[in-house]
Amino acid sequence: MNIILLGPPGAGKGTQAQKLVEDRNMVQLSTGDMLRAARTSGTEMGKKVAAVMDAGNLVTDEIVIGLIREQLEAGGDHGGFIFDGFPRTLPQADALGELLKEMGHTLDYAIELEVNDDILVERIIGRAAEAVASGGTARADDNEESLKTRLMAYYKQTSPLIGYYYAKGDLRGVNGLSAVDDVAAEIAALLDA
């Protein structure tokens, strides 16, 4: 089973991906993690990634698709892939669809963690305050101004994917503001249906 988790920053995509890895032996393909791993791998693709990142440039879609291809080709015994942080744009969604088709894979669902922005901002600000109160540190970008900037970027770039996957019949929504275990149960029910 191959899925995409969609939702704005702070909606809980990373938390739910981790639960799926633990509960269903799925492989989380996080774009950021793949780029960091490739950069230090010494492979041909890794050298390309390092050169682009060292120059301070954004990695191209072509490189990210190449990294995803490597992961899909690696195979292994697992319960499928979770695409996390990719696709972010419509051209990336098209490229991912073409790659999956070419490699004989399908996308089972694009699961949107549906949230209310105002509640989401309150939740993240609360999370930051809790971290500091317990002697830890908050994420540098867990403040209202930064979060609103990240939300704006999400709605400009990524929210069109909701309509894209809806039109293809792949979109499923879950209440991203429920308790973590309730969201996990809702996702599990979708995957088991």
Q: Which of 36, 47, 101, 139 does the annotation list as catalytic? A: 139
Q: Could you tell me which residues are beta bridge partners of residue 110?
A: 4, 171
13 part of the active site: yes
Q: Which of 13, 19, 48, 172 is catalytic?
A: 13
- 150 is an active site residue: yes
Return the SS3 of 100.
helix
Query: Residue 67 and residue 174: Cα distance in Å, rounded?
Result: 29
Strand partners, 171: 110
CA atoms 155, 158, 162, 163: torsion sign: positive
Verify whether residue 88 is a known catalytic residue: yes
- As beta bridge partners, residue 112 has 6, 173
**Catalytic residue chosen out of the listed positions 19, 39, 48, 88:** 88
The residues that are catalytic are 13, 88, 127, 139, 150
